[in-house]
């Protein structure tokens, strides 16, 4: 299990280790890209046809001979103990081949690491949320498996549950993890300077309270795996963002050597952080498969994924800002409380990063409090903690701008940092696109004119808002090892461990090789995401895939190019430096008539293959690599019904060099839509009054925006600071930074439209109407 | 996953009635709600009786007196696209067009839309609630943001149907076939409040099914409209809805129906507000007075006070689009 903080620290740790171990850089001599011909173009995905025609085989499409289907019994109560469990009737039902209960050998695998060791087991009789796994069945058909699960007789001792933050912290609240309190450790303080002095020096202060709802990942492909034992070896086709972390989890849970676990994840239907690793489902499937001596398919139901596979935790935040009259920030005081559910302490992971790092400010204090509740555990979700932090900080910045009589863009421009104040070493950013995103974005959006527009009469009000953000990750890091091969017919292939999580990884990998080798993109094959045939890399998460893999791919391609040019130089009897490659041919730069068509090049045909290995080099020492973004939204709010419609949207992103402008834009559109969901409609609702169940664990009651809700044709401004320091591909991550400011920008636009601020997400029609009905004094939070 | 059931195709209304008279037989028209109910274990089915092959329950026909007779199996998409519906009863066309998503409208039928079960998340969420003959309504203590502001008693559902709201404003007649023969009831008498019957939303007795929905000929000067507020622009039930059917002769209202949707366990006609319109011009002050009056007597719950403002808002929008 990965917790936000551990994952982030892990990345930095990896970088430090790579440096200490003197990992071969492979990239040290290669100058960073400036201008590129193929990279940056708008190219459709190389597997687009397979994806839309249904011929792409996703893990959930895998069917093996003799394959069984599994179903899982989950606790229907928020908190209960299994007093008695009788699976004897289920075991005798038609088609049932394996039954797993908490008593089964191997089902007691420790699960969910806590402060002092693991706090639960794979199948546990102490259930701490409605959806906790108790037993599982594998049968010939999915229906037989579900019927058998229904036939398991369980006697529960139903215990009091607690699913609210306040309720969990109240005296005498039911203990979630048997500790003296439901607070997960002491509140964590982070900051710098002297906040009291900062506020004393401030000429203007604002203070407010904000909150967000719990957002669910809801990827189209459900969580699950098909597993098969091949003697002592386990093979798993698992819907994942990273096959190597899953290989590790399978190996640990089942006490197998890594080399006996093969995880394959060629296609996957979305994860957004919830598929960085396999889950209980994969290990349960492996145990059932072992028991039945048959392959097993276990995909969770949609409802169960909404209860049990993770979430972006709801967070309650207070922000106090102090500033000089010219807008210079003097102090930020920030506190947040959130819950990672029953088993994770990471309810506020990443939430305080924007208060710590987004704006230049000498005095910052942040306090983060984590609480256990009887709910499914959180999991990293597209920029963990950052959209929540942006929700509070960026609304507070707007309030501050109003109080100062400053334009919100101007206020932000006044406080652009050039060093990462949140990092202990106060590292300088390799590039800070924040100012350019603000100015270019405002210009393209027509911010000044839109902001000055006189509000129209009538029940429908219009407003514009802005919000900024950055992502703590997004710089990538070692390790990544790439193999590029050029074969006799002049085609090439890329071998990489990374998963393509839907954002076009395979396509830009091919584009990078095309850029360096002159081989057309459609002549480049991709092998990826298979622990048996590709090389170790971390999961495709943290917006690290491009900045981690692209430099290594480029290094591998350059190595192949070096070998090819050496062969060609010998053949043409010139120095290799005199040669160029383009359009499938090597030629003398000064005399293009002297040329070798690669697919007819005999020395290559004789060798059969040229192999280049590229390794992701260490990051630039003492520098911080971060992507930035600023979003602008224009909304209409109907004051009769409380409905918010987004009319116009612009996202300006600094993610360094663009790999593929088409998939870049698509990634930003998806990120905006996800931010829109957080801002307006998405919210896990739990039955605090009775059972502690998720009341809206379905696609109707949990409201992901539909195609009719999503912003039409947002304008996307790709800011490229030509960062030649961050890595040799001059690029940074995009997927997470593009969602971080979205919800806050929408909230600021709504506040501008209404003249009253809705401080709690989602801004449902209910909350808009309640805010309009409330007396016009800021009872809760602040308003502009 | 759905527990096993037998699947039977009825060839005629009589055959359907006979099959449905058996215990735990459930009719399937479009089956879009049936499958959800079976999956959520709202009820069980020993047999599912498909009505799809019953010719007599399909089609839209003009009646001799200028009204419309709509077979209960008519798909919502067909209703949306039908020129006579759109021309004479726009409230119904608009209500049908606002249901769910295109796929569900293609599959879902008008009869099914009227007879669908409530969306209450306790009712659907595995709770043994009063509507399922359990002993309590969980919405009384629990999260009731989507529940009723009128007509609640021992159960606090809202009726989920968009078309029911519109058809109530249009004075539709529901024809029913059953073991004791056929009968027709005005739609207002078709739906029942929990105080009358806690476990059913309508008067259908075991074995009975809706066969046709009839609309009276529109009076000269009749204008109708349906307005729906919902959290998403598609695939969402109403948070608040209003159907209005107003007859205006020589500039003044001579007849009015105003019906609230997502407000009560049945489509909720607000006769007091209707009466205020009679003899008046539909000007802005009148509309505002009527919209306010439409919510007189509303009794919001702990979490749904917003619905009063929102319902007032959709009434005002609906009347505004007419006047």
- The full 3-state SS of A471-513, as one line of letters, equals CCCCCCCCCEEEEEEEECCCCEEEEECCCCCCCCHHHHHHHHH
Please list every residue in chain B whose beta carbon sits closer than 8 Å to the beta carbon of residue A695: 121-122, 125, 142-143
Closest by CA position to A473, among listed A20, A9, A25, A40: A9
pLDDT tens per residue across span A275-309: 999 999 999 999 999 999 999 999 999 999 999 99
Which of B127, B237, B306 is nearest residue A769 as measured by Cβ atoms? B306
Q: Is the ipTM of this complex over 0.85?
A: yes
A773 contacts chain B (CB < 8 A)? yes
Nearest CA in chain A to B119: A701
Beta strand A623-624 pairing with A492-496? unpaired
CA A200/CA A207 separation, integer angstroms: 15
Which of A143, A693, A764 is nearest residue B231 as measured by Cβ atoms? A764
For residue A74, the cross-strand partners are: A133
Question: Does pLDDT of A781 surpass 50?
Answer: no
> What's the start-to-end Cα distance of chain A, in Å?
42
In the block, which residue shows the tokens 């003249």? A755
Q: How many CA atoms lie within 13 A of A654 on its CB side?
A: 29
Extract the tokens encoding A88.
Answer: 């004897």
Inter-chain CB proximity A643 and B229 less than 8 Å = yes
What pLDDT score was predicted for residue A652? 98
DSSP code, position A11? H
CA B307/CA A641 separation, integer angstroms: 9
Q: What dihedral do alpha carbons A619, A624, A627, A633 form, nearest 10°?
A: 170
Alpha-carbon distances of A516 from A555, A583, B168, rounded to whole Å: 9, 11, 70
Beta strand A481-487 pairing with A609-615? antiparallel
Neighbouring CB atoms inside 10 A of B214's CB total: 18
| Of A480 and A1, more confident | A480
Which of A689, A701, A705 is nearest residue B141 as measured by Cβ atoms? A689
Closest by CA position to A105, among listed A121, A91, A120: A121
> What's the start-to-end Cα distance of chain B, in Å?
50
Over A19-69, what HEC string results?
HHCCCCCCCCCCCCCCCCCCCCCCCCCCCHHHHHHCCCCCHHHCCCCCCEE
State the maximum Cα–Cα separation within chain B, in Å, rounded to a whole number.
Answer: 61
User: According to DSSP H, which parts of B128-252 are helical?
Assistant: 162-169, 187-190
Alpha-carbon distances of B269 from A576, A779, B52, B187, B296, rounded to whole Å: 87, 37, 32, 11, 12
pLDDT tens per residue across span A59-74: 999 999 999 999 999 9
Query: Chain-centre distance of CA A713, in angstroms?
Result: 23
What pLDDT score was predicted for residue A122? 98
Distance from CA of A143 to the nearest CA of B (A): 7
Beta strand A133-139 pairing with A126-127? unpaired
Extract the tokens encoding A771.
Answer: 């805010």
pLDDT tens per residue across span A196-227: 999 999 999 999 999 999 999 999 999 999 99
Confidence of residue A137 (pLDDT cuts 50, 70, 90): very high
What pLDDT score was predicted for residue A776? 60
Q: What are phi and psi of B109, to 5 degrees?
A: -115, 165
DSSP code, position A215? B
The CATH number of whichever domain residue B29 belongs to comes to 3.30.465.10
User: Quick check: bond before A479 cis, omega within 30?
Assistant: yes
Extract the tokens encoding B295.
Answer: 């919510």
A613 contacts chain B (CB < 8 A)? no
Extract the tokens encoding A347.
Answer: 């309810």
Please list every residue in chain B whose beta carbon sits closer than 8 Å to the beta carbon of residue A299: none
Confidence of residue A778 (pLDDT cuts 50, 70, 90): very low
Distance from CA of B249 to the nearest CA of A (A): 28
Contact between A463 and A750 (Cβ < 8 Å):
yes
Alpha-carbon distances of A389 from A245, A626, A664, B262, rounded to whole Å: 28, 17, 24, 35
For residue A528, the cross-strand partners are: A496
Contact between B241 and A641 (Cβ < 8 Å):
no
Extract the tokens encoding A767.
Answer: 């909350």
Please list every residue in chain A whose beta carbon sits closer than 8 Å to the beta carbon of residue B316: 640
What pLDDT score was predicted for residue A769? 97
Nearest CA in chain A to B303: A766
Closest by CA position to A733, among listed A655, A620, A657, A617: A655
DSSP strands (E only) in chain B: 6-9, 25-28, 47-50, 60-62, 68-71, 173-178, 181-186, 209-215, 222-229, 240-249, 252-261, 268-269
* Three-class DSSP category at A629: strand
Which of B233, B237, B309 is nearest residue A709 as measured by Cβ atoms? B233
Report the domain count for chain B. 1
- Low-confidence stretches of chain B (pLDDT < 50) are none
CA A587/CA A594 separation, integer angstroms: 6
Extract the tokens encoding A567.
Answer: 């062969």
CA B244/CA B246 separation, integer angstroms: 6
What pLDDT score was predicted for residue A541? 95
Distinct helix (H) and strand (E) counts, chain A: 20, 30
Extract the tokens encoding B144.
Answer: 């009731």
pLDDT tens per residue across span A676-723: 999 999 999 999 999 999 999 999 999 999 999 999 999 999 999 999
Q: How many CA atoms lie within 13 A of A242 on its CB side?
A: 24
The percent of chain A in helix, strand and coil, each rounded to the nearest 5, is 30, 25, 45
Delineate the domains of chain A, giving CATH numbers in brackets.
4-55+476-615 (3.30.365.10), 62-159+218-308 (3.30.365.10), 315-474+623-773 (3.30.365.10)
Closest by CA position to B163, among listed B155, B172, B152, B176: B172
Contact between A298 and A284 (Cβ < 8 Å):
yes
For residue A340, the cross-strand partners are: A344
Closest by CA position to B217, among listed B67, B60, B62, B63: B67
pLDDT tens per residue across span A654-676: 999 999 999 999 999 999 999 99
pLDDT tens per residue across span A98-119: 999 999 999 999 999 987 899 9
Neighbouring CB atoms inside 10 A of A207's CB total: 15
What pLDDT score was predicted for residue A27? 67
A457 contacts chain B (CB < 8 A)? no
Question: How many residues are present in chain B?
Answer: 323
What pLDDT score was predicted for residue A200? 98
- Residue A606's contacts (CB-CB under 8 Å, 6 or more residues apart) are none
What pLDDT score was predicted for residue B105? 98
A742-754 vs A661-676: helix axis angle to the nearest 10?
Answer: 50
CA A226/CA B122 separation, integer angstroms: 34
Closest by CA position to B119, among listed B156, B149, B166, B92: B156
CA B246/CA B322 separation, integer angstroms: 8
* Sign of the dihedral through C-alpha A263, A265, A269, A270: positive
Please list every residue in chain B whose beta carbon sits closer than 8 Å to the beta carbon of residue A772: 309
Confidence of residue A24 (pLDDT cuts 50, 70, 90): very low
Contact between A644 and A636 (Cβ < 8 Å):
yes
DSSP code, position A271? -
CA B213/CA B76 separation, integer angstroms: 13
> A71, A130, A640, A705: which to substitute to probe chain B, counting the most B Cβ within 10 Å?
A640
Distance from CA of B67 to the nearest CA of A (A): 34
Which of A147, A685, A767 is nearest residue B143 as measured by Cβ atoms? A685
In the block, which residue shows the tokens 């062969």? A567
CA B51/CA A239 separation, integer angstroms: 40
User: Quick check: bond before A762 cis, omega within 30?
Assistant: yes
Residue A608 burial class via C-beta count within 10 angstroms: exposed 0-12, middle 13-18, buried 19 and up: exposed
User: Quick check: bond before A782 cis, omega within 30?
Assistant: no
CA A209/CA A317 separation, integer angstroms: 6
Question: Does pLDDT of A22 surpass 60?
Answer: no
pLDDT tens per residue across span A30-58: 999 999 999 999 999 999 999 999 999 99
Q: Work out the mean pLDDT of chain A and round it to a whole number.
A: 94
* Three-class DSSP category at A587: strand
- What share of chain A in percent tops pLDDT 90? 92
* Three-class DSSP category at A121: strand
Distance from CA of A85 to the nearest CA of B (A): 21
Question: Does pLDDT of A12 surpass 90?
Answer: no
**Parent domain of B228:** 1-323
Average pLDDT of span A741-769 = 97
């Amino acid at each position: 299990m990965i917790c936000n903080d551990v994952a982030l620290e892990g990345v930095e740790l990896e970088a430090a280790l790579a440096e200490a171990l003197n990992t071969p850089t492979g990239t040290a001599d290669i100058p960073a890209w400036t201008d590129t011909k193929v990279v940056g173009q708008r190219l459709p995905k190389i597997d687009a046809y397979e994806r839309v025609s249904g011929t792409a085989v996703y893990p959930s499409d895998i069917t093996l001979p003799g394959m069984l289907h599994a179903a899982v019994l989950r606790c229907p109560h928020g908190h209960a103990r299994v007093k008695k469990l009788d699976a004897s009737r289920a075991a005798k039902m038609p088609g049932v081949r394996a039954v797993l209960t908490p008593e089964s050998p191997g089902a007691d695998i420790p699960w969910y690491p806590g402060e002092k060791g693991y706090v639960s087991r794979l199948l546990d009789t102490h259930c701490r949320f409605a959806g906790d796994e108790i037993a599982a069945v594998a049968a010939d058909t999915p229906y037989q498996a579900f019927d058998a699960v229904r036939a398991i007789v369980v006697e529960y001792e139903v215990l009091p549950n607690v699913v609210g933050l306040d309720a969990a912290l109240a005296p005498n609240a039911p203990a979630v993890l048997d500790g003296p309190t439901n607070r997960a450790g002491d509140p964590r303080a982070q900051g710098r300077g002297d906040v009291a002095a900062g506020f004393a020096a401030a000429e203007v202060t604002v203070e407010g309270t904000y909150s967000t709802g719990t957002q669910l990942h809801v990827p189209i492909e459900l969580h699950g795996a098909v597993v098969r034992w091949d003697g002592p070896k386990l093979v798993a086709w698992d819907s994942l963002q990273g096959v190597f972390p899953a290989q590790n989890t399978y190996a640990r849970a089942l006490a197998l050597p890594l080399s006996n676990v093969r995880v394959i994840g060629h296609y996957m239907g979305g994860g957004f952080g919830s598929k960085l690793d396999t889950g209980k489902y994969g290990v349960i499937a492996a145990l059932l498969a072992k028991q039945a001596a048959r392959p097993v398919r276990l995909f969770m139901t949609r409802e169960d994924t909404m209860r049990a596979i993770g979430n972006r935790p709801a967070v309650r935040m207070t922000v106090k800002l102090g500033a000089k009259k010219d807008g210079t920030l003097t102090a930020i005081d920030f506190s947040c409380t959130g819950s990672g559910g029953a088993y994770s302490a990471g309810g506020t992971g990443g939430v305080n990063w924007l208060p710590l790092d987004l704006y230049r400010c000498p005095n910052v204090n942040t306090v983060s409090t984590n609480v256990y509740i009887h709910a499914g555990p959180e999991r990293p979700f597209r920029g963990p903690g950052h959209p929540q932090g942006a929700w509070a900080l960026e609304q507070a910045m707007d309030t501050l701008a109003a109080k100062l009589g400053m334009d919100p863009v101007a206020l932000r421009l006044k406080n652009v940092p050039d060093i990462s104040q949140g990092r202990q070493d106060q590292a300088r950013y390799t590039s800070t696109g924040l100012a350019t995103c603000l100015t270019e974005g405002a210009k393209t959006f027509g911010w000044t004119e839109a902001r000055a527009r006189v509000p129209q009469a009538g029940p429908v009000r219009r407003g514009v808002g802005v919000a900024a953000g950055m992502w703590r990750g997004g710089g990538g890091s070692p390790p990544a090892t790439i193999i590029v091969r050029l074969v006799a017919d002049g085609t090439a292939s890329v071998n990489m461990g990374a998963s393509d999580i839907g954002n076009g990884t395979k396509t830009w990998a091919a584009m990078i090789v095309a850029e360096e080798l002159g081989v057309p993109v459609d002549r480049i094959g991709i092998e990826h995401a298979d622990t048996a045939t590709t090389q170790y890399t971390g999961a495709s998460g943290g917006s690290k895939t491009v900045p981690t893999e692209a430099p290594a791919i480029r290094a591998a391609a350059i190595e192949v190019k070096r070998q090819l040019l050496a062969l060609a130089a010998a053949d043409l009897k010139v120095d290799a430096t005199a040669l160029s490659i383009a359009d499938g041919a090597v030629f003398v730069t000064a005399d293009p008539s002297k040329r070798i068509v690669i697919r007819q090049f005999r020395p290559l045909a004789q060798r059969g293959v040229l192999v280049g290995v590229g390794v992701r080099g260490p990051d630039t020492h003492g520098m911080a690599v971060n992507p930035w973004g600023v979003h602008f939204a224009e909304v209409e709010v109907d004051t009769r019904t409380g409905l918010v419609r987004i009319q116009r949207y612009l996202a300006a992103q600094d993610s360094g060099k663009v790999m593929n402008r088409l998939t870049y834009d698509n990634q930003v559109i998806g990120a905006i839509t996800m931010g829109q969901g957080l801002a307006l409609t998405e919210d896990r609702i739990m039955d605090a009054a009775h059972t502690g169940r998720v009341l809206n664990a379905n696609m109707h009651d949990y409201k992901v925006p539909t195609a009719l809700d999503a912003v039409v044709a947002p304008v996307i401004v790709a800011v490229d600071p030509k960062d030649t320091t961050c890595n040799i591909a001059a690029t940074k991550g995009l997927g997470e930074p593009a969602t971080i400011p979205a919800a806050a920008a929408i909230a600021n636009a709504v506040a501008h439209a209404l003249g009253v601020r809705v401080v709690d997400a989602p801004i449902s029609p209910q909350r808009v109407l309640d805010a309009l009905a409330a007396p016009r004094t800021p009872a809760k939070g602040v308003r502009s | 996953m759905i527990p096993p059931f037998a699947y039977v195709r009825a060839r005629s209304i009589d055959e359907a009635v006979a099959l449905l008279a058996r215990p735990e037989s459930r009719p399937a028209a479009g089956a879009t709600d049936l499958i959800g109910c079976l999956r959520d274990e709202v009820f069980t089915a020993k047999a599912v009786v498909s009505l799809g092959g019953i010719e007599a329950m399909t089609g839209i026909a003009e009646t001799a007196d200028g009204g419309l007779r709509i077979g209960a199996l008519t798909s919502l998409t067909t209703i949306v696209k039908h020129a006579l519906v759109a021309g004479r009863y726009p409230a119904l066309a608009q209500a049908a067009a606002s249901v769910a998503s295109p796929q569900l409208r293609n599959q879902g039928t008008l009869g099914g839309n009227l007879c669908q079960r409530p969306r209450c998340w306790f009712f659907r969420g595995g709770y043994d609630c009063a509507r399922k003959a359990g002993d309590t309504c969980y919405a009384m203590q629990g999260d009731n943001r989507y529940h009723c502001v009128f007509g609640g008693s021992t159960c606090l559902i809202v009726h989920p149907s968009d078309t029911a709201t519109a058809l109530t404003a249009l004075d539709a007649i529901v024809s029913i076939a059953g073991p004791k023969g056929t009968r027709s009831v005005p739609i207002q008498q078709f739906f029942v409040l929990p105080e009358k019957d806690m476990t059913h939303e309508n008067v259908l007795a075991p074995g009975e099914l809706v066969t046709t929905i009839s609309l009276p000929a529109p009076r000269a000067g009749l204008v109708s409209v349906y307005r729906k507020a919902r959290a998403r622009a598609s695939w969402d039930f109403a948070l608040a809805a209003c159907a209005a059917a107003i007859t205006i002769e020589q500039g003044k209202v001579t007849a009015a129906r105003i019906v609230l949707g997502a407000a009560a366990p049945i489509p909720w006609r607000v006769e007091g507000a209707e009466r205020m319109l009679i003899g008046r011009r539909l000007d802005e002050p009148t509309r505002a007075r009527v919209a306010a009056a439409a919510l007189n007597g509303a009794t919001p719950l702990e979490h749904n006070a917003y619905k009063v403002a929102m319902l007032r808002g959709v009434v005002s929008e609906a009347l505004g689009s007419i006047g």
